[in-house]
Amino acid sequence: MVESIRLLFLQENSPHFRHFPACLDTSRVRVGPLINFASRKATVQKVGADWEHQDGKRLQVVGEAVPAIHRKSYDPVTTYNHDLIHAVDPSLNVSPASVILSKPGCMAQSYHADYDFDIPESKQSLFILVGLMPSRLHFIEIIDDKSVQKLLNYSAGDIVVCRGDFIHAGAGYDDNNIRLHFYVDPPRSPHTAPARTVNKTYIFDDDAGFFTFAYYTMMNNFLRMCNQMSERRRRAKATSAAIRAAKKAKRAQIAPAPFDPV
C-alpha cells in the first residue's frame, strides 16, 4: 500500500489515484450523530464570494470545529492516515480531517482539481477520501488526448488516495451521505508558491485545460461559463488579429520609398 501511494508521484498516465478497499473498521464511527451535528453546525462548502451559485447542500466542518465527542469516534481513522502518509514520506504534512456531508438532493460538483495544476508541486500533493458509508466520486481519465468521464464507488472503510492534479467531482446524492477528507501537502518552501490555496479550486475545461475559478458551481452554471469563456477567447483572438492587421497596414503606409541613386 505504501509503495502504491509512492507510485502516484511517479505515474504519468491518468487516473492519478489508488482505491484501497476495506482498510479500516468504521463501525464505531457514530455516523448518525455526526450527520445530525453537521446538518446543524457545518458550513456550506464554498470558495470565494460567489458561493450563492451552489445549492447549499454540500457542507463541511474542519478539524477541531467538530466537537471532541464526535472526533473521538473517527480518531483511529485520522491516526491511520497520518501513520500511512508518514510511512510514504515523513516530510509530508497531513491536514486535520474534514467532515463532508451531502444533504438529500445535493447536486454534483463541477470537475476540478484541489491543487494548482500549473504548479509542479501539485504532483507531490495528495488528498484522501475515507468512506463512512457507500459514496461516489466522478473523475476524468485522459485517453488519447480525450477526456472520458468515469465513476468510482467506494464503501465504508475504504480509502481513496488521489494526487493533487486528479480531475474529479463530488457526486450528487438523494440521501444523506457523509465521508472524511484529508489534504496531504509537501513542505512549504520560501522559494515556491504553495500548490494549494485555501478556498480556491481549479475548474477543468476541455478547451482551456485548467483555469482558476473562485467558487464551486453546479454543472449547468459551469457549462454556461465554459461557453462564455470560449466566446471571450474567440472575440479576443479576433480583436488581436484586427489590431495586428491595422498596425501592419499603417506601417506600410508610412514606410519611406526605396532609395534610388540614379
Residue 212: pLDDT band with limits 50, 70, 90 = very low
Q: Out of 32-36, 173-177, 189-193, which region has the weakest mean confidence (pLDDT)?
A: 189-193
Average pLDDT of every residue of the chain: 80
CB of 145 closer than 8 Å to CB of 10: no
The reported pLDDT for the residue numbered 191 is 58
pLDDT at 29 over 90: yes
Could you read off the pLDDT of 192-204 as tens digits, one per residue?
666 676 666 777 7
pTM: 0.73
Residue 126: pLDDT band with limits 50, 70, 90 = very high
> Tell me, what DSSP letter sits at residue 106?
B
The reported pLDDT for the residue numbered 230 is 65
Residue 260: pLDDT band with limits 50, 70, 90 = low
pLDDT at 240 over 80: no
- 80-114 burial, b at 16+ Cβ within 10 Å, e below that, comes to ebeebbeebbeebebbebbbbbbbeebbbbbbbbb
pLDDT at 20 over 80: yes
Residue for grid cell 500511512 = 84
- 64-75 burial, b at 16+ Cβ within 10 Å, e below that, comes to eebeeebbebbe
Highest CATH level, class, for 2-217 = mainly beta
More confident site: 52 or 18? 18
Coil vs helix vs strand at 182: strand
Residue for grid cell 457542507 = 59
> Tell me, what DSSP letter sits at residue 255?
P
The reported pLDDT for the residue numbered 226 is 58
Domains in the chain: boundaries: 2-217
Q: Out of 39-43, 45-49, 86-90, 221-225, which region has the weakest mean confidence (pLDDT)?
A: 45-49
Could you read off the pLDDT of 216-235 as tens digits, one per residue?
333 444 555 555 566 667 77
Residue for grid cell 470560449 = 230
Could you read off the pLDDT of 129-170 as tens digits, one per residue?
999 999 999 998 877 767 788 999 999 999 999 998 888 889
